[in-house]
């Protein structure tokens, strides 16, 4: 199975900060990588697909990038509504696997 | 508007069965692969199973193979998850997902005696 190692697990940040969350894939997954945002008591929301593409309605302060087997989600100028848990998912091959999640919280 | 509405969850004893349903609307159901993803209480997301658009191919995580069956009725725009031989570790919220884009609100399954 492909392991998605997500870091950090917790990320204290302040409004206006630039933050980056990373997932490292244990095998090649091409660009079959998605990022989801989940707020308490809510369903996950797709933010990024194909490693670098915005889902519909996602603010431009969110961006996805790839460097080799490392995939990153960056949020520029953090807003209060961005406080949530973020998950990466590889869907290059079965079983699809999620990263362990990053809890973005107020410092 | 895409809508996915899960139902069928609740409390069930270990070893028993439960069937989840997901009623889809707002899109052409028969055109999309569908999946179930679960989330144990206060834990992360786990992919459970996927079925392709016409039901001809299904895929499962190892821990549910032989116990869970994903199926669909395209005429009714409904996705199903038949869960047999349930275990306490199957306790989770189960989400119906369209093409990894759209998620239902989730349905809670609690396996406990």
B23-45 pLDDT, tens digit each: 999 999 999 999 999 999 999 99
For A85-98, what is the mean pLDDT?
Answer: 98
For A30-48, what is the mean pLDDT?
Answer: 97
Q: Per the CB < 8 Å rule, is A94 touching B59?
A: yes
What is the pLDDT, as a whole number, of residue B18?
98
Check if B40 contacts A (Cβ < 8 Å): no
Q: How many CB atoms lie within 10 A of CB A11?
A: 18
**Whole-angstrom distance, CA of residue A101 vs CA of residue A39:** 12
What is the pLDDT, as a whole number, of residue A13?
96
For B9-25, what is the mean pLDDT?
Answer: 98
Distance set, CA B54 to CA B17, B58, B79, B112 (Å): 25, 10, 11, 35
Let me know if A5 is exposed, middle or buried by CB neighbors in 10 A (0-12, 13-18, 19+). Answer: middle
Contacts of A56 (CB under 8 A, 6+ apart): none
Report whether B83 contacts B71 (CB < 8 A). Answer: no
Check if B47 contacts A (Cβ < 8 Å): yes
In this structure, what token pair is assigned to residue A104?
């973005």
What is the pLDDT, as a whole number, of residue B70?
98
Report whether B79 contacts B30 (CB < 8 A). Answer: no
Contacts of B40 (CB under 8 A, 6+ apart): B46, B89, B91, B92
Determine which of B40, B100, B102 to mutate to test the interface with A (most A C-beta atoms within 10 Å): B100
What is the pLDDT, as a whole number, of residue A34?
98
Check if A100 contacts B (Cβ < 8 Å): yes
Q: Per the CB < 8 Å rule, is B47 touching A45?
A: no
What is the pLDDT, as a whole number, of residue B53?
98
* Average pLDDT of chain A to the nearest whole number: 97
Check if A35 contacts B (Cβ < 8 Å): no
What is the pLDDT, as a whole number, of residue B68?
98
- Per-residue burial over B37-67, b if 16 or more Cβ lie within 10 Å, else e, is bbbeeeeebbbbbbbebeeeeebbbeebeee
Contacts of B68 (CB under 8 A, 6+ apart): B48, B49, B60, B81, B82, B83, B84
What is the pLDDT, as a whole number, of residue A105?
95
Determine which of B22, B43, B44, B107 to mutate to test the interface with A (most A C-beta atoms within 10 Å): B44
For B13-28, what is the mean pLDDT?
Answer: 98
Q: Per the CB < 8 Å rule, is A95 touching B101?
A: no
SS3 B46: strand
B59-82 pLDDT, tens digit each: 999 999 999 999 999 999 999 999
B88-112 pLDDT, tens digit each: 999 999 999 999 999 999 999 999 9
Cis preceding linkage at B2, omega within 30: no
What is the pLDDT, as a whole number, of residue B56?
98
Check if A37 contacts B (Cβ < 8 Å): no
Strands A33-38 and A45-49: antiparallel
């Amino acid at each position: 199975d492909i392991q998605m190692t997500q870091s950090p697990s917790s990320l204290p940040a302040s409004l206006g900060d630039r933050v980056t969350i990373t997932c490292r894939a244990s095998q090649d997954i091409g660009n079959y990588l998605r990022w989801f945002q989940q707020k308490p008591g809510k369903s996950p929301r797709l933010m990024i697909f194909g490693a670098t593409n915005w889902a519909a309605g996602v603010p431009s302060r969110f961006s996805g990038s790839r460097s080799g087997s490392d995939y990153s989600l960056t949020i520029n100028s953090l807003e209060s509504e961005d406080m949530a848990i973020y998950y990466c998912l590889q869907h290059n091959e079965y079983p699809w696997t999620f990263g362990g999640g990053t809890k973005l919280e107020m410092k | 508007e895409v809508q996915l509405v899960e139902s069928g969850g609740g409390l069930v004893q270990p070893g028993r069965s439960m069937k989840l349903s997901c009623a889809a609307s707002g899109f052409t159901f028969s055109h999309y692969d569908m999946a179930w993803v679960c989330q144990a209480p206060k834990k992360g997301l786990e992919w459970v199973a996927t079925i392709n658009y016409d039901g001809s191919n299904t895929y499962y995580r190892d821990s549910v193979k032989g116990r869970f069956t994903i199926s669909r009725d395209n005429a009714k725009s409904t996705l199903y998850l038949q869960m047999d031989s349930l275990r306490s570790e199957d306790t989770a919220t189960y989400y119906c997902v369209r093409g990894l884009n759209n998620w239902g609100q989730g349905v809670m399954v609690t396996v406990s005696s």
